[in-house]
A = this chain, B = another copy of it.
């Protein structure tokens, strides 16, 4: 693991861990006059499944490509497995809301629930597509490489959408406490939940950065040099041309093609 990716992964893990600890503490253990400890209620299970089981596990699955050693197949299998865990958590997390009141969709009136339904549905489609693609290794390499950027684009978009949904969920929870239980507007509890919200916003940036930023930043120039040299062995390359490739190659990295570069 190189320096750059190392720090990104470590930072993402520490932040994810901090968020998990605060969420578990706040929803399971925290007790006060306005929020009596109620143990594992459906609301608590919903929050834990969505933040930890769905968002944090899904983020970890995205990070897999950044740090896990081994073959591409291993990475893909672990990625698929972790995203599967995230999907099950998300579906189960939604299920706690299906049964919350009378009627399956009676609880799905808010923007939070609409955004949640959208992100979980897209996530399910994305996972099924990824699953099918994984088991169709025989398909033309070109087809799969054409699909990959779309997979990454939609994957990161759905991840961002899930986090935006979590933000609305945290806001609903706090507004509920403030209006129904007279929680004061400025208090330690709201600071903690707002902190979780900002933590998720930051985590989103780090995880997406880990997916789109260059993986082998240090050795990048060397790789490109090798590439140019190998493909041009006997030919002169003008300075302009080199610059052209150098400049462009950076952008390719934003396109997640770093691994391709390395494998060439």
Residues of A within 8 A of B (CB): 109-112, 114-115, 118, 141-142, 145-146, 148-149, 152-153, 157, 160-161, 163-164, 167-168, 170-172, 174-175, 179-180, 185-186, 190, 193-194, 197-198, 201, 204-205, 208-209, 212-213, 227-228, 231-232, 234-238, 240-248, 250-262, 264
Contact = CB atoms under 8 A, between A and B. Distances in A.
Nearest to A259: B145
19 contacts: A110-B171, A115-B201, A141-B262, A145-B247, A145-B259, A149-B253, A152-B254, A153-B254, A175-B175, A231-B264, A242-B244, A245-B245, A245-B247, A250-B251, A252-B261, A254-B255, A257-B261, A258-B260, A261-B264
Contact of A197 (B111, B160, B228): B111
Q: Which of A153, A164, A172, A242 has the most CB of B within 10 A?
A: A164
A262 B145 contact: yes
A153 B232 contact: no
A245 to B, nearest CB: 4
A21 B174 CA distance: 31
Contacts of A171: 110-112, 168, 171-172
Count of chain copies: 2
A148 to B, nearest CB: 6
Contact of A153 (B109, B146, B247, B255): B255
Contacts of A243: 141-142
A115 to B, nearest CB: 7
Contacts of A180: 179
Interface of A is mostly: helix
Contacts of A168: 167-168, 171
Given A231-B235, A258-B260, A260-B262, A201 B118 contact: yes
Given A110-B171, A111-B194, A257-B257, 18 more contacts: A110-B190, A111-B171, A111-B174, A114-B194, A114-B198, A146-B250, A149-B251, A149-B253, A153-B254, A157-B204, A160-B164, A161-B201, A228-B231, A252-B261, A254-B254, A254-B255, A256-B258, A261-B261
Contacts of A204: 157
Contacts of A153: 209, 212-213, 254-255
Contacts of A212: 153, 254
A110 B234 CA distance: 64
